[in-house]
Amino acid sequence: MDENIRELFAAIDICHANEMTIPTAALIYVAIDTLGWMKYGAIEKSSRKRFTQWCEEYINDFFDENCNATDLYSARCATLHSISVESSLSSSGQARKILYASGKDSEDIPSISNKILSKVNTTCIHIDSLINQLKIGASIFFDQSKSCEQSMETIDQARKKQFVKIPTDLFKKILPLINNL
């Protein structure tokens, strides 16, 4: 698996273990955005299409009649752009608002609440389940990519554009070289 994705998953786990739902959700959406970009970035410019396409291909088991990839994308927009539950997709009725259930004894909250919440174009998801499905989906994505030369090429091209960690001493050495370009 990609080092940056592993780091995102570690941050998701830390935030989730400390009951920080907003950062947990934000990092989940960043991870899906990144995985979608790694898979489809060379051929698809729309982040919405990359996000929903990746979700439908790799975490489709998470979805049911109460939540689909567009709902999740809408929640991504609401969370990342305004830390709210409403996005332009949900306010226009094209997606449901998403609430998050999390933690011990919360597994049944979505099934209990969604009948009532559906009346107000809202759904509840179990964030623990989303985390698990995301990790499974990412593993499948990277495993499948290993057997496809074109997929590996696309991922390698994406990796070349990602953040890299450079030790301070090395950065100080290369900075003058960059200055001379």
Q: Please classify residue 44 by burial: count the beta carbons closer than 10 Å to its beta carbon, then call 0-12 exposed, 13-18 middle and 19+ buried.
A: middle
pTM of the model: 0.87
Considering only residues 181 and 59, tell me which one the structure prediction assigns the higher pLDDT: 59
For 19: left if phi > 0, alpha if psi spans -120 to 50, otherwise beta; the answer is left
3-state helix, strand and coil shares in percent for the chain, rounded to the nearest 5: 70, 5, 25
Residues 40-98: tens digit of each pLDDT = 988 888 999 999 999 999 999 999 999 999 999 999 999 999 999 999 999 999 999 99
Residues 105-163: tens digit of each pLDDT = 787 888 889 889 989 999 999 999 999 999 999 999 999 998 888 888 888 888 777 77
Q: Please classify residue 123 by burial: count the beta carbons closer than 10 Å to its beta carbon, then call 0-12 exposed, 13-18 middle and 19+ buried.
A: buried
Q: How far apart are CA 95 and CA 75, in angstroms?
A: 9
Considering only residues 160 and 28, tell me which one the structure prediction assigns the higher pLDDT: 28
Helix (H, G, I), strand (E, B) or coil at 155: helix
Question: What is the four-CA torsion angle of 151, 153, 155, 160, rounded to 10 degrees?
Answer: -170
Q: How far apart are CA 140 and CA 6, in angstroms?
A: 14
Residues 6+ apart with CB under 8 A from 28: 12, 127, 130, 131, 134
pLDDT band at 26 (very low <50, low <70, confident <90, very high): very high
